[in-house]
Structure 1
Amino acid sequence: MGICYIIGAGDFGSGTVAASEGDYIIAGDGGYRLCKERGIQPDLVVGDFDSLGYRPDHPNVRSFRPEKDFTDMHIAVKEGMALGYKHFVIFGGTGGRLSHTMANIQLLAELASEGCEAVLMGTNSRIFVIHNSKISFEKEEEGYISVFSLSDRSEGVSLRGLKYLLEDAVLTNVFPLGASNEFLGEVSEIEVRDGTLLIITEKKF
């Protein structure tokens, strides 16, 4: 299948939605306003619409009560997973309330545990989570890259093709050893044998 794009109400971040055949776009609550502003046509709109302030005039809307266990972004992700998508690109999931950004990082962890690939697009940054797997970056990548353990221990961690290297190391969630690494203009790779890693790329200013 293609890419499931999720649009939230936070900062739109870098990049753009360039949907192709087989892709699917879901707007979560106030993300519908961002879609309208940017000329993006969502396939589905979900949420309690407390942020948007009204129920969208859209042919495919699913409304929820504000008193619920799932955030609007979580509902959107669940809808995409139910449709069978395994690759997610999330816009509007950073900025604003820090608690919402943290909730969306946890969504990335859930997706990684389900074998999905996902990226949370921030302003001049991208956020990834991998679980018992690896991720690679092309030589054109520039700027900083930081790696943190979300699990208590992440074992068999290797950082290759970056300024600071690791091979079969252990990262913990109480020591930020992987902060502020750098791309070197070559293909790079991050791998973890047993654990969950949070990976953040940032542009230099």
Structure 2
Amino acid sequence: MPICYIFASGEYGEEWPDLQEGDLCIAADGGYAQMQRHGVNPDLVVGDFDSLGYVPPHPHIVRHPADKDDTDTALALSEGWNRGYRNFHIYGSLGGRLDHTLANVQLLCGLTEQGGQGMLIGPGMTVTAVHNGTLELEGEAGRTLSMFCWGEPAQGVILEGLKYPLQGATMTAQVPLGVSNEFLGGPARITVQQGTLVVMRVEKA
């Protein structure tokens, strides 16, 4: 499945995507500078450019006013969605300001609940979500994996292949039941019969 890559204005780690034909690359405001540092030219540049400080010399720009309801990352996500993409990897979406990080987690959950797939990628951390279904992830033994309920209670939660399994549990947004679990060395399966879980995988110890 082709991937829409969004490069936001948050913090970046060492990881950089292996872009393939058919993928779409969108720079969201300050993410343009990160792409330039890696010698990658985006297909589209979106934002109000308050973070970047200037309007880049690019043939495909969607400029928005600074006073707006959506974040630049949300606008970039909408551009990708409207172009038919349903799988999104968002770099520079973690770290930095906590309010922007939480906003990106909201976007991730909204995307997942609409039937899309998403991943937030930052220094030492990858965040995804699962809604009314099953998510399978790989991780070496001892690697940390945390899960948090987002919104209404997540019901029928099953955790397999993890140090602390669950079977038919209910997780709520008020109790951090899923924090600091660990991979056992094989695939981990996270199932939610009803509701949404945010899943955070620590990439570095």
Q: Which TM bucket (shorter chain)?
A: over 0.9
Q: Give me the whole-angstrom Cα distance separating, in 2, the residues matched to 1:184 and 1:138.
A: 10
Within the alignment, does 1:198 sit opposite 2:198 as a pair? yes
Residue in 1 aligned with 2:47? 47
Contact 2:143–2:183 at 8 Å: present in 1 too?
Answer: yes
Give the Cα separation in 2 of the matches to 1:35 and 1:138. Answer: 28
Structure 2: state its 5+ residue gaps: none
- Residue of structure 2 in register with 1:138 after alignment: 138
CA–CA separation in structure 1 for the residues paired with 2:87 and 2:188? 21
Q: CA deviation at 1:111?
A: 0.5
Q: Structure 2 CA distance, aligned partners of 1:74 and 1:204?
A: 28
Once residues 161 and 33 of structure 1 are traced to their aligned partners in structure 2, the CA distance between those partners, rounded to angstroms, is: 40
Q: Is the 8 A contact 2:126 2:203 kept in 1?
A: no
SS at match of 2:34: helix
Structure-1-length-normalised TM-score? 0.96
CA distance in structure 2 between the partners assigned to 1:51 and 1:149 by the alignment: 31
Q: 1:19 Cα deviation (Å)?
A: 1.1
Residue 124 in structure 1 maps to residue 129 in structure 2: no
Distance, in Å, in 2 between the alignment partners of 1:80 and 1:203 is: 27
Distance 2:103 2:177 in 1: 23
* Amino acid corresponding to residue 184 of structure 2 in structure 1: L
**SS in structure 1 of the partner of residue 93 of structure 2:** coil
Q: Distance in 2 between matches of 1:159 and 1:78?
A: 32
How large is the Cα RMSD of the aligned pairs? 1.3
Offset of residue 152 of structure 1: 2.7
Aligned to 1:112: 112
Structure 1, unaligned runs of 5 or more: none
TM-score (normalised: structure 2): 0.96
Could you tell me the percent identity over the aligned residues? Answer: 44
4+ residue runs over 4 A deviation? 139-142
Q: String of CA shifts for 1:121-180, please: whole Å, max 9, x gaps.
A: 021110111111111013557610001100231001010001010011100111101110
Distance (Å, rounded) in 2 between the aligned partners of 1:123 and 1:49: 23
1:182 alignment partner in structure 2: 182
1:26 Cα deviation after fit? 0.2
| CA distance 1:162–1:131, shift in 2 (3 Å) | same
